[in-house]
Structure 1
Amino acid sequence: MEPHVIQSLLEESSEICVSIYMPMFRWGREKQQNEIRYKNLLRDASELLGNDEVCTASTRDAIVKRLELFRAEGTHDAWRHPSAGLALFATPDSLEVLPMGKRVTEQVHVGERFYLRPLLPAMHGDGRFVLVAVSQNHVRLFEGSQEGLEERSPDDLPENLKDALNIDEFTTALQHFSYTEGGHVDTMYHGHGGGEDDHKQTILQFFHRLDNPLSEYLQDRNDPLIFAGVEYLFPIFKEAISYSHLLADPVTGNFDNAKPEMIYEKAQEVVQPFFQKNTMEAVQRYHSAHGQNRATDDLETILKAAEMGAVDTLLIREDATFWGHIDDQGHIQEDGTPNEVSQDLLDDAAVATLNHGGEVFVVRGEDFPVENGSAAAQLRFEVTAMTS
């Protein structure tokens, strides 16, 4: 997810903000349950708005109307091609709809700002990627997420080399040159008298024809693109493709007839280290800062530092929750579960950090630098300056 998306949600100005998160069914008849689930969440939102002392009847009606209009918009891509999850952010004057690459717990929040905690993992990659499996005989495009692979068929994406280069009488006009790698055979095509340079130029032209439809399909996205094919083809593909988020490591083999489950398993070996790289570097920076007295895992100190703009990097343990409130003496009181006075203090810490230009990372439990901790922060100056 692009950072500017979350930044725009942080900057949204409204007395009443509604945040809705829901998991989605992606395939088969179960997709019909998405609308039922949404109706139930919409009802919950209406009830919460009605019980909010700040919310007027006209404000509630305006927000509910926007949410109902979205439900009725059956052609919206969120309904036609659902992702693993869906997030909606509504005010009386706006509605933002964001697909999510991982399932989320269904929930509704009403407050003076949007609730962003479930979005935070997506700031540094939410597991979504695109994979293109290419041979001269077949081009396959997949959308990947933490849920698996789903094959796509854009109308303008060539099906194979023959389709891309508009070669007539393909099998009789060209000779075959077979390239074998690790038991996989891929076929290069060239004219009479052609050599290896001719093979490369033919394939390069083929990949140039793939570039435009791929670029259009990936327009305004920053999801990593994985190349899947025999190793010989990858350097040529890199030369031809203009998309800037092509991963440096390919998935090698011939996948013309491979099942999506097998391709997905191989893709995870490439994409997971990519998604974890920035997070693990942030964890290492925390350890280094700890030795310089510029790190803390005390949530009360973190909240104070974040409000002052002193948090450089905030680490939040994946799946951790901390519902509580600040008492009259400025100390944290943990409530355990949400109530009329409690807030998600991890969400508060994240929003304050982001508002002051800091970074936020959601870290897997096994990688979190503090045992049993829910948050840890690298500070811009020594902890003693925060606690004195």
Structure 2
Amino acid sequence: MSSQLIQSLLNESNDVCVSLYMPMVRWGREVRQNEIRFKNLLKDTEQLLDKDEVATSESRQGVLAQLQNFINEPDHDAWKHPHSGLALFVTPDSLEVHSMNYTCEEQAHVGERFYLRPLLPTLHGDGSFVVLTISQKHVRLFEGNRDGLEERFPEDLPESLKEALNIDDYMTSIQHFSYAAGNQVDTMYHGHGAGEDDHKANILQFFHRIDAPLSEYLEGREDPLIFAGVEYLFPIFKEATSYKQLLPDPIEGNFDETSAEELHKKALEVVEPYFRQEITEAIENYNDAHGRNCATDDLETILQAAQMGAVDTLLIREKTPIWGHLDEEGHVQQDKAPSEGSLDLLDEAAVETLDKGGDVFVVRDEDFPSEKSSAVAKLRFAIEATTP
């Protein structure tokens, strides 16, 4: 998923927009729960459509027919290869299915636009990343998130240098190549002069053979790529790869026999600072703007400013909806629980901000810059300009 998807959903115009989100079981016998959970969501959707004053009988039938067709399609990739979460966006005329690399709460929404709050983490990285482990004997590709790693097997990705270059006697071209298993550091003794140059040239060619299928597999994605291999190989791989999101810090060592669990721990140490960097800068910018009277943590002011296009950056607390509505005078009235006519006011603030060209960050509870509020905003101009 990406910001382009969110923008396309924002631009969708229909009287009846249905948004469904559910966590998925990814493996084991419990995978059967996915279909059961979806059927429960389908029942919830029927009830919401029955209550919706805008939904006609025809539009109701159109939405339900598309959802029924989806559940009756067992070969759909969403069922065969489940991710951590699933999102569906349905109108009487269209159905979009998107796998999510992070878990989400099971929920159904019906309205005049799609409910986008659970997608907002994708604006600045959804916690998904890719790990490529490389030695001259073995190539492995993993996709992961904060929950774990899974090995993938892209078509045409070579499994080793020997396979990539069709060299049967390659190892005789260097004097010695061995693995120090104790500290997982390769020790390599090269030939001198031309021999060493030939060795590097062969590895560079090897990495070019890896880059083509890897780039095809990752086409259109912005997930950070982590290189895992011996120190000697990383500079050569950087020279060969065309993927723009390669992280500058590799995981050093040999990982031919490393489990996905062990590799996941090492990968998180590298990727977590990357994911936190943008959010940390956004929080610092908000704190700086607060000192210049160009920031607010008042929800009503945030909503007014967002509608005016005055919000530069909106920070919202993770997994904390605020249900409510606006009264006739435009003031916020919070509801104790979701009810007919209730809106997730943080979703409203985010949509208005994005629609007017602002930016939105989802921040973990422990990092949120305000104790009393679940939304704060850095404004494009002083607070007084947003209040009556």
Using the size of structure 1 for normalisation, the TM-score is 0.95
Equivalent pair of 1:189/1:202 in contact (CA under 8 Å): no
Equivalent pair of 1:181/1:230 in contact (CA under 8 Å): no
What is the match of residue 13 of structure 1? 13
What is the match of residue 95 of structure 2? 95
In 1: Cα distance, 2:191 partner to 2:213 partner: 27
Aligned-partner SS, 1:242? coil
Greater mean deviation of Cα atoms: 69-78 or 17-26: 69-78
In 2: Cα distance, 1:328 partner to 1:53 partner: 20
Aligned-partner SS, 2:61? helix
Shift of 1:29: 1.3
Aligned-partner SS, 2:255? coil
What is the match of residue 201 of structure 1? 201
Q: Deviations over 1:17-74 (max 9, x none)?
A: 0000000001111112111111111121122112212111111111111112222222
In 2: Cα distance, 1:93 partner to 1:328 partner: 33
Matches within 5 A, 1:373-388: 373-388=373-388
Q: Deviations over 1:320-373 (max 9, x none)?
A: 221011122322111121001211000000000001000000111121111131
In 2: Cα distance, 1:111 partner to 1:341 partner: 10
What is the match of residue 28 of structure 2? 28
In 2: Cα distance, 1:140 partner to 1:165 partner: 17
In 2: Cα distance, 1:288 partner to 1:191 partner: 57
Shift of 1:192: 10
- 2:127 is equivalent to residue 145 of structure 1: no
Equivalent pair of 2:49/2:60 in contact (CA under 8 Å): yes
- 2:318 is equivalent to residue 318 of structure 1: yes
Equivalent pair of 2:179/2:254 in contact (CA under 8 Å): no
Gaps of 5+ in 2: none
Matches within 5 A, 1:244-255: 244-255=244-255
- 2:118 is equivalent to residue 121 of structure 1: no
Aligned-partner SS, 2:232? helix
Matches within 5 A, 1:206-245: 206-245=206-245
Equivalent pair of 2:186/2:253 in contact (CA under 8 Å): no
What is the match of residue 298 of structure 1? 298
Equivalent pair of 1:130/1:223 in contact (CA under 8 Å): yes
Equivalent pair of 1:136/1:186 in contact (CA under 8 Å): no
What is the match of residue 159 of structure 2? 159
In 2: Cα distance, 1:191 partner to 1:382 partner: 67
In 2: Cα distance, 1:210 partner to 1:194 partner: 24
In 1: Cα distance, 2:187 partner to 2:138 partner: 11
Shift of 1:247: 0.9
In 2: Cα distance, 1:288 partner to 1:182 partner: 49
Shift of 1:176: 3.2
In 1: Cα distance, 2:159 partner to 2:189 partner: 16
Q: Deviations over 1:199-253 (max 9, x none)?
A: 2111111101101110111011111111111111111011111111111111111
Equivalent pair of 2:3/2:122 in contact (CA under 8 Å): no
Shift of 1:194: 5.3
What is the match of residue 358 of structure 1? 358
Equivalent pair of 2:324/2:344 in contact (CA under 8 Å): yes
In 1: Cα distance, 2:125 partner to 2:19 partner: 21
In 2: Cα distance, 1:17 partner to 1:354 partner: 19
Going from structure 1 to structure 2, the CA distance change for 1:253 and 1:185 (only over 3 Å counts) comes to closer
Equivalent pair of 2:146/2:268 in contact (CA under 8 Å): no
- Aligned pairs, number: 388
Greater mean deviation of Cα atoms: 86-95 or 189-198: 189-198
What is the match of residue 76 of structure 1? 76
Gaps of 5+ in 1: none
Q: Which amino acid aligns with 1:103?
A: T
In 2: Cα distance, 1:66 partner to 1:239 partner: 47
In 2: Cα distance, 1:192 partner to 1:296 partner: 65
Aligned-partner SS, 2:37? helix
Q: Deviations over 1:76-120 (max 9, x none)?
A: 221121111011110011111111111111000000000011111
Equivalent pair of 1:178/1:185 in contact (CA under 8 Å): no
In 2: Cα distance, 1:182 partner to 1:29 partner: 38
Going from structure 1 to structure 2, the CA distance change for 1:183 and 1:199 (only over 3 Å counts) comes to farther
Q: Deviations over 1:281-314 (max 9, x none)?
A: 1111101111111000000000000011110100
Going from structure 1 to structure 2, the CA distance change for 1:172 and 1:67 (only over 3 Å counts) comes to same
Q: Which amino acid aligns with 1:76?
A: H
Task: Give % identity.
Answer: 64
Greater mean deviation of Cα atoms: 200-209 or 64-73: 64-73
Q: Which amino acid aligns with 2:317?
A: R
What is the match of residue 288 of structure 2? 288
Matches within 5 A, 1:50-65: 50-65=50-65
Aligned-partner SS, 1:226? strand
In 1: Cα distance, 2:155 partner to 2:330 partner: 59
Aligned-partner SS, 2:131? strand
Equivalent pair of 2:174/2:195 in contact (CA under 8 Å): no
What is the match of residue 2 of structure 1? 2
